[in-house]
Structure 1
Amino acid sequence: MKAEETNSITSGYGKPPWIFKGSALYQLNLVKAEVARAFIPKEFRLVEAFGYTLGGFFLANYSDSPAGSFDELVVIGGIVWNPPTSCAWATRVLVSSDEACIHGRKDVGLPSYVAKFSKQISATAKPKSKFNTFLNMKGVGGSTNCMEVQVSETKDTAVADFCNINLPAGASELNSGKWMGPTIKMSLPSYRIKPTSPAKVLRPASEKSDSTQDPDCTHSDDKRNLSIDVMLSKPILALQFNCLKMDVESPLIVSHVLLNSTEK
């Protein structure tokens, strides 16, 4: 497969690498292959087994980036074979920054949309036990804060609810100062990571109340609804990232070739 670096650079982002700092939740779901194929071009080979591929979502809050602070939800439809390895395929990217949306579309080729992220935190007490008393002494146990994130796409004055994400207690305390797991440093990127309980994703109660509510109703209704199906797929693993730092290089333009020449 032949790839070439693109020379397109958003002026607001400056020259790469682009540095993003913040926290995130990366959740892996089992996604039906037939759902994933709706997003992936026919010339690319989907990595699947028993009718499923590995998808999910990446929910991030960036405290510092070329576009300033903003929230991002990346819906991952599945895994695509990209010799000699494989890569995740983004089906929809929702960001709370106009600049980040433009950069995603024009410079990276992502299906980016502007969205509003509404967050609500509620306190939840854990059952009392001797074990929890010990955890309280270590700053881990006791009452916890749970966060609900409502994501709504926006365009001009139109708003369309996309999904509600109920974060597990640990993932809603990314900046609490509590122990978040061991620090892992890599050349790209560096972060603190630990497993956490999967987030609970809910379909919006009213997906379409009228024709003015969908910000892109011309041709993307089906893919939008399928992206929601990806979010609602069965979770198998959730990873919590704290002190995240990503150094993002220029994107690669991949030539359109058949990745599986033996496929009939």
Structure 2
Amino acid sequence: MKIMQTTCSSGFAGKPPWVFKGSAVYQFHLVKADIARAIIPKEFRLVETFGYTLGGFFLANYNESPFGPFDELVTIAGIVRNPPMLTSHAWAASVYVNNDNACTHGRKEFGLPSQVAAFSKANQTIHVAEVDSPMTTGLYDIRHESPILKMNPLKWMALGPTIKMSLPSYSGRTEHRPQLLKYSCQIECRVKPTSPARVSGSLGQINAETESNGHLKKREISMSVMLSKPIFALEFNCLKMEVQPPVVVSRNPLELKQE
């Protein structure tokens, strides 16, 4: 997977659907239900079994997007549903991108907890650091046990089938989008199983700071998700992802009281 340095695209997102092309790894973790509940909205019901929910992360490199090439790391806290609805959606605990415009788009259009980060790669290890000018805080080292190789698309025909799927998610309840939103990513790609990546981070270094800083508390929860037990991973290549605008599911209770 190609890793880009922090950039700022001057392009505009344009009209939906927004199309992203590149490659990605989707890794699934068993996340303790108590950790996931600490970050999901109160109206959600967590989908859990024996005290665990299904979370993990989505690590992508887009070589084409409305914002130009960039990298993205989405930490998924777990699977939730919003009663009385029966369908389940993922909830993102954190989103890191190395493109300012992509960060702004995620915040204002989708109500995602997007942050700017720097991505670097050495010896099959991807290092992710949050950029909070003038400081940079190291977050994760993600090491792929089986290297992700650049391949001719024809070779992927023998290594993984072409699939189409939808990844439904909830978002919102943020400063920029206080409403509860839902959206889905329509994905077409070649997919194959791969060895789960090893994730290391500096959770112990920020524990002492979380009591007085809400942003750090969310970072700690996201890190707990990333450091939870991996169970399997999927490698996506020849990836094409189409994203439609989100739909409002419900209003913020504070907004309703003001009307």
| Fold match by TM threshold 0.5 | yes
Alpha carbon RMSD of aligned pairs, Å?
2.4
Task: Give the match's secondary structure for 2:109.
Answer: helix
1:189 corresponds in structure 2 to 187
For 1:254, give the aligned amino acid: V
2:203 and 2:223 in contact (8 A); partners too: no
1:200 aligns with 2:198: yes
Mean Cα deviation higher: 226-235 or 161-170? 161-170
- Closer, same or farther in 2 for the Cα pair 1:190/1:168, shift >3 Å? same
Superposed CA offset, 1:162-221 (max 9, x none): 111001324x21x2335441222469321000000000001139846xx9xx9xx84211
1:104 corresponds in structure 2 to 106
Distance 2:95 2:205 in 1: 18
Distance 1:194 1:44 in 2: 32
- Equivalent residue runs for 1:58-69 within 5 Å: 58-69=58-69
2:203 and 2:224 in contact (8 A); partners too: no
2:73 and 2:97 in contact (8 A); partners too: yes
1:232 corresponds in structure 2 to 227
For 1:182, give the aligned amino acid: P
What is the aligned length? 216
Task: Give the match's secondary structure for 1:220.
Answer: helix
Distance 1:152 1:256 in 2: 34
For 1:103, give the aligned amino acid: H
- Closer, same or farther in 2 for the Cα pair 1:117/1:50, shift >3 Å? same
For 1:22, give the aligned amino acid: G
Return the TM-score normalized by structure 2.
0.77
2:257 corresponds in structure 1 to none
1:93 aligns with 2:95: yes
For 2:49, give the aligned amino acid: A
Superposed CA offset, 1:125-155 (max 9, x none): xxxxxxxxxxxxxxxxxxxxxx100000002
1:248 corresponds in structure 2 to 243
Superposed CA offset, 1:50-97 (max 9, x none): 111000000000000001000000000000114231000000000000
Task: Give the match's secondary structure for 1:191.
Answer: strand
Aligned-residue sequence identity (percent) comes to 55
Unaligned residue ranges in structure 2 (runs of 5+): 1-10, 167-185, 254-259
Deviation at 1:252, TM superposition (A): 1.4
2:203 and 2:220 in contact (8 A); partners too: no
2:106 and 2:112 in contact (8 A); partners too: yes
Return the TM-score normalized by structure 1.
0.76
Distance 1:62 1:169 in 2: 21
For 2:241, give the aligned amino acid: M
- Closer, same or farther in 2 for the Cα pair 1:257/1:190, shift >3 Å? same
Distance 2:213 2:36 in 1: 21
2:172 corresponds in structure 1 to none
1:198 and 1:238 in contact (8 A); partners too: yes
1:73 corresponds in structure 2 to 73
Mean Cα deviation higher: 50-59 or 198-207? 198-207
- Equivalent residue runs for 1:11-26 within 5 Å: 12-26=12-26
- Equivalent residue runs for 1:81-230 within 5 Å: 81-82=81-82, 83-121=85-123, 147-170=124-147, 172-173=148-149, 175-177=150-152, 178-179=155-156, 180-185=159-164, 188-204=186-202, 207=205, 218-230=213-225
Distance 2:165 2:225 in 1: 30
Task: Give the match's secondary structure for 1:34.
Answer: helix
Structure 1 or 2: larger helix share? 2
For 1:232, give the aligned amino acid: L
Deviation at 1:120, TM superposition (A): 1.1
1:161 and 1:206 in contact (8 A); partners too: no
Deviation at 1:44, TM superposition (A): 1.0
